[in-house]
C-alpha cells in the first residue's frame, strides 16, 4: 500500500469511528445508559467479531493492517489525555465529614472482590485452561482480582450527576470512595504489570520496580514544585499552558511505558502532580480542553479494545464463565460496598445505593483489561469474557439504581408513616370519618395538648 493510500484509509477509518461511536453514545443516553456504553458497543461492533464476520471484505478495506499503528497511536494519545484529566481532578480532600464511610467502603469494595477474583482463579484452573490460560502466574492471579475490583470514577460521577445525587449522602460517599479506590487499584495493578511478562524488557522486575519508585519520587518531590512556580508565577496563555501540560503528560506516559508499566500510570501520575490554582480550584480552561479532546478521540481506544474481542473464541465453557464472572462481579461489589456503608452509619436505602454505584466499571475497567492483555496476563478468550463483564455490569447500574432508589423511597415513606415528629412510633390511626352529606372522608379531631 502506497503512502497516499495509507493516509486515505486512515482518514476514512477516522471518520467512520468518530461518527459511529458518538452516534452510539448519543443513542445510549437516549436509552438512559452512560454515553460510554454506546461507544464501547460501537468499538466491539466495528471489530473483527461483528463487522469482520458479517462483512469480511469491508472490514479489511476499512481497517487494513497498515493503519493499525496509526489508530493505536490515536488511541494511546486519547487515553493519556483522558487519564491526565482524571489524575488532575482526583482530590481525596472531598472525603470531608464522610471520610470514615468513604474509606470503609473503598477498602471493602476492593478487598472482597479482589479476594473473590484471585480465589476463583486458583480454584477454577481447569476452566481457565480451556480459555487459553494453561499456566497461572502470581501476576495473573493478582490481575484476576484487580479485574473484579475496579470502579469507573468518570462513569460513576456521570451517573451521580445525571441522577441529581451530587449533594446526597450516597452520592458523596460513592464518589469519594471510588476516588480512593482508584489509588489503591492502580497501585496494585502496577505491581501486577511489573510482575507480568517482561518481553522486550532488558531489566529485571526488581530494577524496573526500583526505577518506577524513583520516578514517582522525582515527580512528587521535584516536578510538582517546578510546575507550581511555572504555572503560578507566569500568566501564560491557556493554549500554551495546555500544550506544556499535555507534553508533560505524554512524556511521563512514555517513561512508564518504557518501564513496562503502560502509559496509563504516567498519565495519571502527571495529572496528580500538577498543582491546582492558587485558590485551590481546578483550571476550567485546561479541563475543558482536555475533556473535549479526550472524549472526542477516546472512541479510538474502544476500537482498539474491540479488535482484541473474539466472540468466536467462546465455547460453552466461555459463556458459562462469562455468566459466573458477571454474577460474581455484581454480587461481591454491591454486597461488600453496601455492607461497609451500612456499618459506617448509612441507612439501608443509602447503603444499597452506594453498593450499586460502586459496581460501575465502564472505561476504567477496559483500560485495566487492555493493559493486562498487552502484558500477556490475559488470553484473548478471557479478555473477551472480562470485556463483556465490564459492559454488563455498567449496563446494570442504572436499572439497579432506579430499583434501589424506589425501594429506599418506599421504605422511607413507611418509616415516616410509622413514626411521629419525635421519631417515636406513632399511635394507631383511627378510621376516617365520613361526612353524612357527601361521603368525603374527614380526619378525626386533633388531640390538642
Q: Among candidates 193, 190, 181, which has minimal Cα distance to 150? A: 181
Beta bridge partners of 434: 441
Q: Are 381 and 314 in contact (CB under 8 A)?
A: yes
As given in the structure block, the three cell numbers for residue 385 are: 469474557
- Interhelix angle 362-374/380-417, rounded to 10 degrees, is 160
3-state secondary structure 348-404: HHHHHHHHHHHCCCHHHHHHHHHHHHHCCCCCHHHHHHHHHHHHHHHHHHHHHHHHH
Give the model's pLDDT for residue 198: 52
Q: Answer yes or no: are the C-beta atoms of 342 and 313 closer than 8 Å.
A: no
Residues with Cβ < 8 Å from 390, sequence gap 6 or more? Answer: 40, 361, 362, 365, 366, 369
Which pLDDT score is estimated for 73? 92
CA 449 to chain centre: 57
- Rounded to two decimals, what is the model's pTM? 0.80
**Dihedral angle computed from the Cα positions of residues 45, 50, 51 and 54, in that order, rounded to the nearest 10 degrees:** -150
Which residues of the chain have a pLDDT value below 50? Answer: 419-449
Residue 92: predicted pLDDT? 62
Amino acid at each position: 500500500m502506497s503512502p497516499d493510500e495509507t493516509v486515505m484509509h486512515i482518514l476514512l477509518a477516522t471518520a467512520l469511528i468518530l461518527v459511529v461511536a458518538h452516534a452510539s453514545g448519543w443513542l445510549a443516553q437516549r436509552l438512559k445508559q452512560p454515553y460510554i456504553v454506546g461507544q464501547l458497543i460501537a468499538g466491539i461492533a466495528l471489530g473483527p467479531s461483528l463487522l469482520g464476520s458479517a462483512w469480511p471484505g469491508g472490514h479489511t478495506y476499512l481497517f487494513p493492517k497498515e493503519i493499525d499503528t496509526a489508530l493505536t497511536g490515536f488511541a494511546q494519545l486519547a487515553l493519556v489525555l483522558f487519564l491526565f484529566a482524571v489524575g488532575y481532578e482526583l482530590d481525596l480532600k472531598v472525603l470531608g465529614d464522610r471520610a470514615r464511610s468513604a474509606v470503609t467502603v473503598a477498602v471493602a469494595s476492593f478487598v472482597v472482590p479482589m479476594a473473590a477474583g484471585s480465589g476463583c482463579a486458583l480454584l477454577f484452573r481447569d476452566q481457565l485452561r480451556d480459555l487459553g490460560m494453561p499456566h497461572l502466574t502470581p501476576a495473573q492471579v493478582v490481575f484476576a482480582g484487580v479485574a473484579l475490583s475496579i470502579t469507573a470514577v468518570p462513569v460513576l460521577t456521570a451517573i451521580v450527576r445525571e441522577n441529581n445525587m451530587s449533594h446526597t449522602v450516597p452520592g458523596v460517599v460513592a464518589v469519594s470512595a471510588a476516588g480512593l479506590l482508584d489509588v489503591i487499584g492502580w497501585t496494585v495493578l502496577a505491581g501486577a504489570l511489573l510482575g507480568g511478562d517482561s518481553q522486550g524488557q532488558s531489566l529485571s522486575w526488581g530494577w524496573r520496580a526500583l526505577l518506577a519508585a524513583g520516578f514517582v519520587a522525582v515527580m512528587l518531590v521535584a516536578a510538582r514544585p517546578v510546575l507550581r512556580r511555572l504555572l503560578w508565577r507566569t500568566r501564560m496563555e491557556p493554549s500554551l499552558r495546555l500544550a506544556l501540560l499535555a507534553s508533560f503528560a505524554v512524556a511521563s506516559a512514555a517513561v512508564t511505558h518504557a518501564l513496562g508499566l503502560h502509559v496509563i500510570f504516567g498519565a495519571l501520575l502527571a495529572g496528580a502532580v500538577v498543582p491546582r490554582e492558587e485558590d485551590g480550584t481546578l483550571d476550567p480552561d485546561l479541563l475543558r480542553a482536555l475533556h473535549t479532546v479526550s472524549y472526542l478521540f477516546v472512541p479510538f481506544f474502544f476500537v482498539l479494545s474491540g479488535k482484541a474481542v473474539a466472540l468466536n473464541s467462546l465455547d460453552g465453557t466461555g459463556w458459562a464463565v462469562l455468566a459466573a464472572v458477571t454474577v460474581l462481579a455484581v454480587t461481591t461489589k454491591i454486597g461488600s460496598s453496601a455492607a461497609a456503608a451500612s456499618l459506617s452509619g448509612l441507612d439501608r436505602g443509602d447503603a444499597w445505593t452506594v453498593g450499586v454505584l460502586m459496581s460501575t466499571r465502564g472505561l476504567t475497567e477496559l483500560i485495566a483489561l487492555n493493559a493486562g492483555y498487552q502484558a500477556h496476563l490475559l488470553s484473548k478468550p478471557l479478555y473477551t469474557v472480562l470485556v463483556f463483564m465490564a459492559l454488563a455490569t455498567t449496563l446494570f447500574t442504572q436499572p439497579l439504581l432506579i430499583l434501589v432508589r424506589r425501594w429506599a423511597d418506599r421504605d422511607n415513606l413507611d418509616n415516616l408513616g410509622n413514626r411521629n415528629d419525635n421519631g417515636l412510633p406513632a399511635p394507631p390511626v383511627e378510621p376516617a370519618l365520613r361526612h353524612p352529606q357527601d361521603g368525603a372522608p374527614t380526619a378525626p379531631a386533633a388531640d390538642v395538648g
